[in-house]
Amino acid sequence: MSKNVSCCEESEDLMEKLLEEETGCTCGSFKASDHSKIENPKKPKTKIYSSLLKTLEEKSKKLGIISIGYAKIPEDIFNNDDLLEYPNAIVFTCPIGMDIVDEIPSKIAKERNENLYERFGKISYELSDILRKEGFASQVAHPIEGLVDLSKLGQEAGLGYIGKNGLLISPELGPRLKVSAILTTIENLPYSQKNSYEWIKNYCKRCNKCIKKCPEDALIEKEDKIAKADLIDEKCIGCIQGCTYCIEACPFFEKGYDWVKEKQTKLEAKLS
């Protein structure tokens, strides 16, 4: 990062570029860059004390983070192997505000969505700088940049499971969230050993409400009707108009995680 340009100024430039885009979804399309205020240590630590990790988690919650998970980064979610510096990840989820969900696709919804990306990005860098200050090297996977597939990384960290709309579905918020991550040299993170939400894909195979609700036909069901649909980026207006129809249509948002899980459990019992 240039010494004459502040983190805030670079973040604003990123949002201005997004405002100029009017040709489909731009999530994950921006080049990864470093907006840190603290330099990475030359000889980074690789082991973290549980007390420091707890402090980081508590700080995260105060900043508005909903859930935190840990993962070794699998190779199949690398969007650009050359840019990834560290194989370990601390993954965060942040809620999409109801002020965005309740607003119809419009310039207002778009601006609110972009403001959320900016706030979440700043939180991610603030947490990353805490690690750097303590002697650990880190690299932020900003929620609007395409460094890694953040939904898949969230799934790998055990924070939820990817639904048919391609979004991470969590027990706390369903699909009403965004994901970011800090890649780091820390090797003794409490990695998720098992994902408790794999059953979600079985529900999503039958549901299709997000596909039917999309006003632009940006979601296309695959021939084998697997849990995740194909997303046509050029048609998606999630970024350019702040559209959240696929979130609103999702039963995990509309009815809640517990309601859907109970329904799926009863169905599986009937079929067994």
Q: What is the pLDDT of residue 19?
A: 44
**How do residues 30-65 score in pLDDT, each as one tens digit?**
555 788 999 999 999 999 999 999 999 999 999 999
CA distance 29 to 7: 19
- The answer to whether residue 11 scores a pLDDT higher than 50 is no
> Residue 124: left if φ>0, alpha if ψ -120 to 50, beta else—which one?
alpha
- The answer to whether residue 209 scores a pLDDT higher than 50 is yes
Listed residue (187, 230, 184) closest to 210, CA to CA: 230
- The answer to whether residue 192 scores a pLDDT higher than 80 is yes
Q: Which residues pair with 168 in a beta bridge?
A: 162
How far is CA 150 from each of CA 48, 65, 92, 202, rounded to the nearest angstrom?
23, 15, 10, 21
Q: What is the pLDDT of residue 272?
A: 76
CA distance 10 to 150: 22
**CA contacts within 13 A on the Cβ side of 177:** 30
Q: What is the pLDDT of residue 32?
A: 57
- The answer to whether residue 23 scores a pLDDT higher than 70 is no
Strands (E), 100-176: 138-141, 161-162, 168-169
Q: What is the pLDDT of residue 145?
A: 85
Band of pLDDT at residue 4, cut at 50, 70 and 90: very low
Band of pLDDT at residue 26, cut at 50, 70 and 90: low
- The answer to whether residue 119 scores a pLDDT higher than 50 is yes
- Give residues with Cβ within 8 angstroms of 26, minimum separation 6: 18, 144, 239, 240
Q: What is the pLDDT of residue 171?
A: 96
Least confident of 73-77, 166-170, 173-177: 73-77
Q: What is the pLDDT of residue 227?
A: 66
Q: What is the dihedral sign for C-alpha 84, 86, 91, 97?
A: negative
Q: What is the pLDDT of residue 27?
A: 61
Q: What is the pLDDT of residue 137?
A: 97
CA distance 217 to 200: 23
